[in-house]
């Protein structure tokens, strides 16, 4: 493993020129407040501002610094093997609406980039889902047929641009790849010109729904500031302000990502993905010197389960080096995605929150089209129009949830298992475990009857926080590559000092005194 390349910000974040904005102070009013500044939040804010509404965007950390900032930047309606499953679970009409909506979102991003003159390295490329093993061929033939029936220009092929043979692949032409943060930078500029207000470093902590028109919603924040608005959009990956626990219908996973330069002649000229071998997703992006940035994703794991992430990165680098000679690692990072248990994103009015609170989540790793689609749907609903895709993504849907009850039950059992079983398991002797802790490591111990998360930094100093996630009380686990504490139940992530890195938790982990361990 190349020790000089540390896990951190993505290539997109290191090469984007996004403006910065100060925290919200005092009181504010707007027609709409958007919570979260990833592609779903900023796409929605832009659509609302373009329709003439006043908009405030609140971001807990920095612009697009969450899921969107760590994506691979694919814009495609081919989502691995989604269509065969959608047809089986939801019916042919649902699969057609899914294909039409995802394709419309792709076109909308391309059109918006052209309309606003955004230079975001957008390239039209085919998307392929492939397999190398012969036993995967029939499933891909079925997926190609299902995708064609849904309306995509899909075909089954046995050749690709990859530097190794494939047994088969589903291929869809005229998809796209881009620099996602460059695109969002263009949206931000256009939003500000339209009067949109953006505030970073402002975490929303509560929502008070009132009956006094025309501002029935009042958001409170950790800065002490408040915002009153007619409409509230929650676009925070895992939804905050979740009164009906949509979290119970979402599962979490993280993907490791590596990137590095390869000669232009090795560009496979497409976007590729396979479920084989712990998943491999491949695309390239242009570099200033004419070479290509190879981006490889895979080694999927559930956050908070103690996965050996360093070994996962090593496997990805070995895979890239074997298949793309001359690959030179320059970046590595990790992405986190969630998926609804019935395989459809949740976009629309949030259940249990009246009619003026909206949510966008559950994109299952396809958030570039999903986020743009969220902006289109929510803007239509705010405008009083009908959902153009007839409620396919309605968070309040019941039928499809009931049809996938076993998946929902498994997700809930996993949460219960971690919330209850982990507390009953023995955590070992605190003093002995802390003495054995090497620099850069972390462990969970019991101290004074309380679960405690302990990290030893590179200088040997100890940092201790409560190991109880502030969302719903599950125990966190340490991720050694990213040096974070992660919750296995709903994916909240915390720094070694307890600060929130990713929700749905709204409060940091309580700090503890390492001297008392």
> Residue 452 domain-assigned?
yes
> Residue 5 domain-assigned?
no
For the chain, percent of residues with pLDDT exceeding 70: 92
CATH code of 463's domain: 2.102.10.10
Question: Domain residues for 464?
Answer: 424-516
> Residue 97 domain-assigned?
no
SS (H, E, C) 343-371: CCCEEEECCCECECEEEEECECCCHHHHH
pLDDT value at residue 1: 41
> Residue 489 domain-assigned?
yes
Confidence of residue 286 (pLDDT cuts 50, 70, 90): very high
Listing DSSP states for 400-450 in one string gives HHHHTHHHHHHHHHHHHIIIIIHHHS----HHHHHHTPPTT-EEEEEETTE
Tokens (6 digits) for 330? 């320059």
Question: Residue 129: pLDDT above 80?
Answer: yes
Pairing outcome for strands 280-286 and 271-274: antiparallel
Question: Residue 428: pLDDT above 80?
Answer: no
pTM of the model as a whole: 0.88
Confidence of residue 307 (pLDDT cuts 50, 70, 90): confident
pLDDT value at residue 237: 87
Tokens (6 digits) for 17? 């020129």
Q: What is the mean pLDDT of the chain?
A: 90
SS (H, E, C) 159-199: CCCCCCCCCEEEEEEEEEECCHHHHHHHHHHHHHHCCCEEE
Question: Residue 279: pLDDT above 70?
Answer: yes
Mean pLDDT of 194-213: 90
> Residue 495 domain-assigned?
yes
> Residue 142 domain-assigned?
no
Mean pLDDT of 107-124: 98
Question: Residue 368: pLDDT above 90?
Answer: yes
pLDDT value at residue 436: 84
> Residue 272 domain-assigned?
no
Listing DSSP states for 289-335 in one string gives TS-EEEEEEEEEE-TTS---HHHHHHHHHHHHHHHSTT-EEEEEEEE
How far is residue 143's CA from residue 155's CA, in Å, rounded to a whole number?
9
> Residue 95 domain-assigned?
no
Query: Domain total for the chain?
Result: 1
């Amino acid at each position: 493993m190349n020790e000089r390349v540390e896990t951190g910000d993505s290539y997109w974040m290191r090469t984007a020129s996004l403006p910065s904005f100060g925290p919200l102070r005092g009181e504010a009013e707007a027609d709409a407040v958007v919570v979260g500044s990833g592609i779903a939040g900023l796409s929605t804010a832009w659509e609302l501002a373009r329709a003439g509404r006043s908009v405030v965007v609140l971001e807990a950390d920095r612009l697009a610094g969450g899921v969107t900032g760590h994506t691979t930047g694919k814009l495609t309606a081919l989502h691995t093997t989604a269509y065969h499953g959608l047809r089986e679970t939801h019916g042919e009409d649902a699969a057609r609406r899914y294909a039409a909506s995802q394709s419309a979102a792709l076109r909308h991003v391309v059109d918006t980039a052209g309309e606003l003159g955004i230079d975001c390295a957008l390239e039209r490329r085919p998307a392929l889902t492939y397999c190398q093993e012969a036993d995967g061929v029939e499933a891909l033939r079925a997926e190609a047929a299902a995708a064609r029936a849904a309306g995509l220009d899909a075909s089954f092929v046995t050749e690709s641009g990859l530097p190794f043979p494939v047994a088969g692949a589903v291929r869809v032409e005229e998809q796209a790849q881009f620099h996602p943060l460059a695109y969002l930078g263009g949206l931000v500029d256009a939003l500000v010109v339209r009067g949109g207000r953006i505030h970073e470093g402002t975490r929303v902590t509560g929502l008070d729904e009132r009956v006094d028109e025309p501002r029935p919603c009042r958001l409170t924040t950790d800065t002490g500031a408040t915002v009153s608005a007619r409409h509230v959009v929650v676009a925070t990956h895992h939804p905050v302000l979740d009164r009906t626990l949509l979290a119970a219908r979402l599962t979490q996973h993280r993907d490791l990502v590596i990137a590095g330069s390869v000669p232009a002649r090795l560009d496979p000229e497409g976007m590729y993905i396979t479920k084989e071998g712990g998943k491999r997703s491949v695309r390239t992006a242009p570099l200033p010197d004419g070479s290509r940035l190879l981006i490889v994703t895979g080694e999927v794991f559930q956050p908070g389960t103690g996965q050996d992430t360093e070994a996962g990165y090593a496997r990805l680098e070995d895979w890239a080096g074997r298949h793309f000679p001359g690959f030179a690692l320059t970046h590595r990072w990790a992405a986190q995605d969630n998926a609804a248990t019935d395989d459809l994103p949740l976009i629309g009015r949030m259940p249990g929150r009246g009619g003026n609170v909206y949510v966008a989540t559950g994109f299952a790793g396809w958030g570039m089209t999903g986020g743009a689609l969220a902006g289109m749907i929510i803007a239509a609903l705010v405008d009083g129009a009908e959902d153009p895709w007839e409620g396919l993504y309605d968070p309040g849907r019941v039928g499809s949830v009931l049809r996938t009850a076993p998946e929902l039950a498994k997700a809930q059992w996993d949460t219960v298992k971690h919330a209850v079983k982990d507390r009953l398991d023995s955590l070992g002797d605190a003093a002995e475990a802390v003495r054995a802790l090497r620099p850069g490591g972390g462990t969970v111990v019991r101290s004074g009857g309380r679960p405690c998360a302990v990290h030893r930094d590179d200088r040997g100093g100890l940092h201790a926080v409560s190991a109880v996630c502030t969302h719903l009380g599950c125990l966190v686990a340490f991720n050694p590559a990213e040096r974070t504490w992660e919750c296995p139940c709903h994916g909240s992530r915390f720094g070694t000092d307890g600060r929130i890195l990713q929700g749905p938790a709204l409060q940091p982990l309580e700090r503890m005194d390492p001297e008392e361990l």
